Structure 1
């Protein structure tokens, strides 16, 4: 895979993220109109910066450090990227209007326990972790993969704690 093709892949992921933001904005507006309460506003900005940095860093590292494409690594990581996207959209579909990129809880709604939420309390973050490691490694951008993984581990410790506290008010289906 050439650096140009890899850049196109990252651009496609960026486009997917923009589509998520459109859905998220619509769902957040609905949630707030239903009396939803937002939690964790302070960590949202750093989360946006980190995820944007993942995309920019991966491309920059490939071009500036002349990272090679290693087929045995690249193709396996690409399969993980595709799988993480599938898992992410399964999460979005399972949560329906309750999904958005912020932590907004609508009082009286039932906590979703279908789809991937049958098995894991936060399956979307499995997708984020896998994608954050795999996307840079498609083209051996290991510095970006390691940096994102470490910073994301810290951010997820904050985010998951915030979500767990916010979701505690919802009843299980």
Structure 2
């Protein structure tokens, strides 16, 4: 039980810190002339992620932890950091385009167009599985996939301009 609470606390604090960093980066990018693309989908992304985390607190706060799935989640955290470092001050939770800026092609972006979304998809499945919640993992993987489909289409349009 204590391990579950520690893991959920870590993920909650991590996500809150990332939101603060994203907000700071968003303000800085907008000040440099960036514009937002497809903001209408953003509340859906926020809702999915908030529901996922809130739901995990409800179903998993006292669950036993599968260390193999927890290790997989840990590997995904390393990949998450790689993505964040590669994007640096350009990382945000919104789709922002800075006119004249080149696309990031370093780090994981050498191998995938959207590595952050691959990491998030893995996390949305792996953490519930670490708590023995396969149905929860399946439901949120599908819901996240639907939201990501819309987001990736919008981001690809924005990045191709």
1:159 alignment partner, one of 143, 147, 151: 151
Q: What does 1:1-173 align with in structure 2 at a 5 Å threshold?
A: 2=1, 4-62=2-60, 69=64, 74-169=66-161
Q: Secondary structure at the match of 1:140?
A: coil
Q: Deviations over 1:8-67 (max 9, x none)?
A: 20111010011111111111111101111101211111111111111111221236xx85
TM-score, with length taken from structure 1: 0.88
Q: Give 5+ residue unaligned stretches, structure 2.
A: none
Larger radius of gyration: 1
Q: Distance in 1 between matches of 2:149 and 2:83?
A: 19
The total of aligned residue pairs comes to: 161
Asked whether the 8 Å contact 1:58–1:141 carries over to 2, the reply is no
After TM superposition, where is structure 1 displaced by more than 6 Å over at least 4 residues in a row?
none
Q: Deviations over 1:92-122 (max 9, x none)?
A: 1101221100000100001000000000000
- Give the drift of 1:154: 0.3
- Give the drift of 1:79: 1.1
Q: Secondary structure at the match of 1:23?
A: helix
TM-score, with length taken from structure 2: 0.94
Q: Distance in 1 between matches of 2:131 and 2:87?
A: 33
Q: Secondary structure at the match of 2:96?
A: strand
Stretch of structure 1 that moved more, 81-90 or 97-106:
81-90
